[in-house]
Chains A and B, each alone.
Chain A
Amino acid sequence: MSIATLRTSYLAASLASVSRSMLKQQVPIKSQYAATNSPPPPEGFMPGVANSKFIRNTHHEALRNPELAGVANGETKKMNTFQAINDAMSIALATDDTACVFGEDVAFGGVFRCTMGLAEMFGRDRVFNTPLSEQGIAGFGIGMAAMGSTAIAEIQFADYIFPAFDQLVNEAAKYRYRSGGEFDVGGLCIRTPCGAVGHGGHYHSQSPEAYFAHTPGLKVVIPRSPIQAKGLLLASVRDRNPVIFMEPKILYRAAVEMVPVGDYELPLGKAEILTQGKDLTVVGWGAQLYVLENAIQLAQKKMPGLSVELIDLRSILPWDVETVCNSVNKTGRLLIAHEAPKTQGFAAEIATTVMERCFLRLEAPIQRLCSYDTPFPLIFEKFHVPDMIRCAEGIERAMKF
């Protein structure tokens, strides 16, 4: 029962000194289990995302990013993540006559409203509903892309992608290789909502990125915010390789950014350093980054002056070995956190590579903060995922080794 024991030192620290926004996020999380009769907060489980300092709330903040140089003189517009994804698909359809968007219920906007209005704007022959057949959707998209067209397919939840696993792993990933370059499915992009959402249970919460990361030929991308989602999705659609674009569903409505309205792409296979630091490298992606942001703040309350380099990996496959290893060579310490279970999660790959390349620089064991090795639970979700306190403890362990 050690897990249920409140980590008093950290809880006290968090209650005493953490900013209001963090309190708002964390208190419901800790009290969720104890208060059986109180419903979860209606605004969801990650209200703090909106207050994150990685969210670009203003036009100038948004455009300060050198990766957005191409649209630096353009307009920006308030969008949350699902709107940014919608905008990206709208641009993809407008700039590529061969592009089609399809999936279960996408013509009505999809369950998360990401495709809202696209059928009306581009026609029902380009934005259409498919039957409930994931293997068919993937195979159909592969065939379409093999003809040179752009296929943007939606698998309604990442948990439903497994019937399509064979098509993606055996057909999509290997088409170029096994045809000696005659055919490829570069135009294929599979979008799928992933990750914990507070109440998703066994089949609406999983993060299967590591399964696909084991497949040469595929690319796997996970965005963290509206600006990132738009640029990475456009790049994924246009990349000449099949891309699995996993959208953390808890972020769809979690925060609004000023998103450039123009056409821009963000690089695949390139991590982004969110904060520069010299003592510890922390790597995450998707929604976990906001947990890490809070964990770092919490750890800094206890260890004043702690300087952490936080890296958003963005692409899981191929992943940015250079950026991570350069950072670890600088800091000598590494913590990786993700929502998927620990055993064989993607943190294992990162840790091994860093061990190979930075062995003599490491000053502490690499910390992996991942979910438990259990099926994704319903009622025990908060015990399953690597929360702020666990991540803060990981930071402390790395620093005090």
Chain B
Amino acid sequence: MLSSKRISLAKVAARAFITPVTVRTFASSSIARNVNITLHKASFETYNCDTPSLEVNISKEELVKMYHSMVIMRRMEMASDALYKAKLIRGFCHLCTGQEAVAVGMETALTPDDKIITAYRCHGFTYMRGASITSILAELLGRKAGISAGKGGSMHMFTPNFFGGNGIVGAQVPLGAGIAFAQKYLGHNASTFALYGDGASNQGQVFEAYNMAKLWDLPCVFVCENNRYGMGTSASRSSANTSYFKRGDYIPGVKVNGMDVLAVHQACAYAKEWTTSGKGPLLLEMETYRYGGHSMSDPGTTYRTREEIQHMRSNNDPITGLKQRLLELNVVSEDELKAIDKNARAEVDKAVEESKASPEPELKAFWEQVYKKEAGIPFLRGREPEETHHF
């Protein structure tokens, strides 16, 4: 289907333009600095493929970094919550508290060449894909320092290898297939991770994307973040088949304990290997849980019990789980963890102040980026003739 000449040219082009892969582990990767962890047998369930390895060999630094990222993410969402309640953030805002392990475990298994695209619960992914806390909070506040210049708000966040932040349920999934196709066409040795929720899994276009991805064996990993509720409707009341990892039919799948950052890491590494080795797409179902409501206007307690939420918080929390592991393995001391927590809080607090201090975007941003600047569009019509904006 693709001419070899085209691919080789594309490879040359890719080598020229893509920045070298940064080493994601800390400086030393010597054996002594690594630890071996055996995951619980129930971490994975598979459909038409082998189980990812339960043996994780990972550096201590990486583990601490995972912990740090999850703590930052939670603090950041808590800060967003407070800013929303102070009416500084307005409108639609979806927090990922409880689901931190998915974004963190995924990022540590990927390289910057891999692409991610997700739905509206995107703050955590945006952070992991390189955005600063300030740029995320400032976007929520609609300020100039925001990652989209304050033009979009909660659902509209992007970094060069993160395609957003997409507000329409399920719309991002076929985009993921298209991104993966481009990667294959251009000869990039990388994958696309297209995320959606259990709610979005019932959108027709998700199945259209599955079909195209398998038909053309695209390096696309479809990741269903199953947090059990699509807005206020539980998975079993919205989906005829709640085994989301099996819903690709002709696409193999893995169900993953999405509350364990290492299981997520392991599954994503497996999926990256699977998709970049030419086997076509793979489905991952991350079993996770959001502690808060669907959005800020949903208290999250009308369609589920407080006990259920409390149970998940006290028995399955991804941060507590990793913390226990770190202490058991003597990777860090309790005091060191406390210091991380404290620093994370200070870091987020500082970002809150920075983002609040940022001004609102300049008015000219209102007209920019509707069309390409050089597209020859001389003006945009305004509310009345004299308001027509001339570029």
Contact = CB atoms under 8 A, between A and B. Distances in A.
B303 interface: yes
A33 B142 CA distance: 11
A8 interface: no
Nearest to B196: A132
B363 A3 contact: yes
Contact of B366 (A105, A163, A380): A380
B257 to A, nearest CB: 24
B243 to A, nearest CB: 16
Contacts of A204: 91-92
B302 A378 contact: no
Say what secondary structure dominates the interface of chain A.
loop
B383 A374 contact: no
Contact of B238 (A42, A129, A384): A129
B156 interface: yes
A131 B381 contact: no
B156 to A, nearest CB: 7
A108 B363 contact: no
Nearest to A156: B231
A35 to B, nearest CB: 10
A283 to B, nearest CB: 16
Interface stretch (A236-244, A351-359, A386-394): A386-394
B383 A380 contact: no
A133 interface: yes
Interface in B187-203: 199-200, 202-203
A104 B384 contact: no
A119 to B, nearest CB: 12
B142 A131 contact: no
A168 to B, nearest CB: 15
Given A36-B359, A129-B237, A160-B168, A367 B384 contact: yes
Contacts of A343: 381
Contacts of B238: 129-132
B65 interface: no
B321 interface: no
Contacts of A136: 202, 204
Contacts of B171: 163
Given A201-B91, A343-B381, A378 B199 contact: no
Given A132-B170, A370-B383, A378 B233 contact: no
Interface string B139-177: 000110000001111111000000000011111000000
B376 interface: no
Contact of A199 (B91, B232, B363, B387): B91
A347 to B, nearest CB: 11
Contacts of A3: 363, 382, 387, 389
B173 to A, nearest CB: 12
B380 A199 contact: no
Interface string A318-357: 0000000000000000000000011100000000000000
B170 A33 contact: no
Nearest to A337: B383
Contacts, number: 154
Contacts of A131: 199, 202, 230, 233, 238-239
Contacts of B359: 36
Interface in A1-49: 1-4, 33, 36-37, 39-40, 42
B356 interface: yes
Contacts of A64: none
A373 interface: yes
B151 A378 contact: yes
A111 to B, nearest CB: 7
A132 B365 CA distance: 33
Nearest to B156: A202
B105 to A, nearest CB: 25
B46 interface: no
A43 B386 CA distance: 33
A108 B302 contact: yes
A359 to B, nearest CB: 20
A132 B169 contact: yes
Among A105, A373, A383: residue with most chain B CB under 10 A = A373
Given A2-B386, A131-B238, A342-B383, A201 B202 contact: no
B376 to A, nearest CB: 15
B233 A374 contact: no
A141 to B, nearest CB: 15
B69 to A, nearest CB: 27
A367 B385 CA distance: 9
B233 A390 contact: no
A369 B239 CA distance: 45
A80 B88 CA distance: 27
Contacts of B204: 133, 135-136, 163
A139 to B, nearest CB: 9
Contacts of A374: 366-367, 370, 380
Contacts of B363: 1, 3-4, 380, 383
A37 B142 CA distance: 11
Nearest to B367: A374
B361 A40 contact: no
Contacts of A36: 143, 359-360
Interface in B320-365: 356, 359-361, 363, 365
B90 interface: yes
A375 interface: yes
Given A370-B383, A383-B366, 15 more contacts: A2-B386, A40-B87, A129-B233, A133-B204, A135-B204, A136-B202, A163-B203, A201-B156, A367-B384, A372-B389, A374-B380, A380-B361, A380-B366, A383-B363, A397-B384
Smallest CB-CB A-B distances: 9 pairs: A199-B90, A39-B87, A131-B202, A199-B91, A203-B167, A379-B142, A132-B199, A131-B238, A380-B366
Interface of B: 86-88, 90-92, 142-143, 150-156, 167-171, 199-200, 202-205, 230-233, 237-239, 297, 302-303, 356, 359-361, 363, 365-367, 370, 380-384, 386-387, 389
Interface of A: 1-4, 33, 36-37, 39-40, 42, 104-105, 108, 111, 129-136, 159-160, 162-163, 197-204, 341-343, 367-375, 377-380, 383-387, 390, 393-394, 397
5 contacts: A39-B87, A129-B233, A372-B380, A374-B370, A383-B363
